[in-house]
Structure 1
Amino acid sequence: MFSKTRVTEPGPRAATPYEPEPTRASTMDSYDHPPAQALRTRTGPSVLSSDLTVKGNITTQGDVQIEGTVDGDIRAHQLTVGESATIQGEIVAEEVIVNGRVIGRVRGLKVRLSATARVEGDIVHKTIAIESGAHFEGSVQRQEDPLGNGVTPRLAPPSAASRRDDTDPDA
């Protein structure tokens, strides 16, 4: 019924019987909503070229490559900061690759600073890699979920009862 050579060997395949293409009605529920399968398909990253300056926030569920200047926060699936790029703002992405300059907080599951990276700000990560030659000023904190609502847990301040001096006879 099936031949192993047809599947694994390159070359011309046997002609398949004619299959009519699906009609538009079967691939689209309406003109406003593409099929769910089309939403899951990944394409190449959106690229902001080196001559582009953005003032404002950028939000996407896809991948972004920045080569220009961004003055605002960026939220993406994967963000690549090019060598000529400068970002002033918070970065939140599952994977962050920094080759250029970032001034602000970086939060990501995987964060990589290349040898040409210049980061001034805190990094919250699950895994991090910093290549030799990278310039980094700030703190690094590991969290299981660095993408969660952006709140870094802090210790509660000491209560008044714990601040009481035990040598005070009036206490």
Structure 2
Amino acid sequence: MFSKTRVTEPGPRTQPTPESEPPRGLDTSYDMPPAAPARARTAPSVLSSDLTVTGNIQTQGDIQVEGTVEGDIRAHQLVVGDSATIRGEIVAEEVVVNGRVIGRVRGLKVRLTATARVEGDIIHKTIAIESGAHFEGSVQRQEDPLANGVTKKLAPPAGRGSDKDGEAG
């Protein structure tokens, strides 16, 4: 079935396997690839439905919450499961809410499914709210909702001239 004759024949060899590479010194930083993006991991971290976390959670990866979190969450992608409750601010590039969130949600892409219950403001670049979702709060679109700091209030509409102090608005 298999023959070793090709392995022993002279001629160009294929790429060496990792086992046949010679050992290297301790300083290998010269050939290290640049820092891998946070997307190297494929499976999200899952907080199960019987878990309660008190405190803030921060990761560059993905999180799926099925339990209860009493604190802020910062992640690349966050999925709030059907049985989950989050009391705190959510900041993520992508947020999918199936369960309950009590607090502000900031994300580039925010999606509230039909089973979502959100009590708080949503600051987003794009948003989708399915029929049946329960939402109490305000929605504000920003180019960069993930920017640190306090969300700016919208300026009053440019109006009919100047204000009382004689300064233009």
Give the TM-score, by structure 1 length.
0.74
Alignment deviations for residues 16-45 of structure 1 (CA, whole Å, 9 cap, x no partner): 836231466489848xxxx54674323210
1:11 aligned partner: none
Q: Which amino acid aligns with 1:162?
A: D
Q: Which amino acid aligns with 2:164?
A: R
Distance 2:136 2:22 in 1: 57
Distance 1:48 1:81 in 2: 10
1:127 aligned partner: 126
Distance 2:52 2:94 in 1: 23
- 1:53-132 equivalences in 2 (<5 Å): 53-132=52-131
Query: 1:120 Cα shift?
Result: 0.2
Structure 1, gaps ≥5 residues long? 1-14, 166-171
2:4 aligned partner: none
Query: Secondary structure of 1:19's partner?
Result: coil
Task: Give the aligned CA root-mean-square deviation in angstroms.
Answer: 2.7
1:51 aligned partner: 50
Distance 1:133 1:111 in 2: 16
**Identity score, percent:** 70
Q: Which amino acid aligns with 2:163?
A: S
Give the TM-score, by structure 2 length.
0.75
Classify 1:121/1:164 alpha carbon distance in 2 versus 1 (closer, same or farther; 3 Å).
Answer: same
Structure 2, gaps ≥5 residues long? 1-6, 8-12, 157-161
- How many residues get paired? 143
1:17 aligned partner: 14
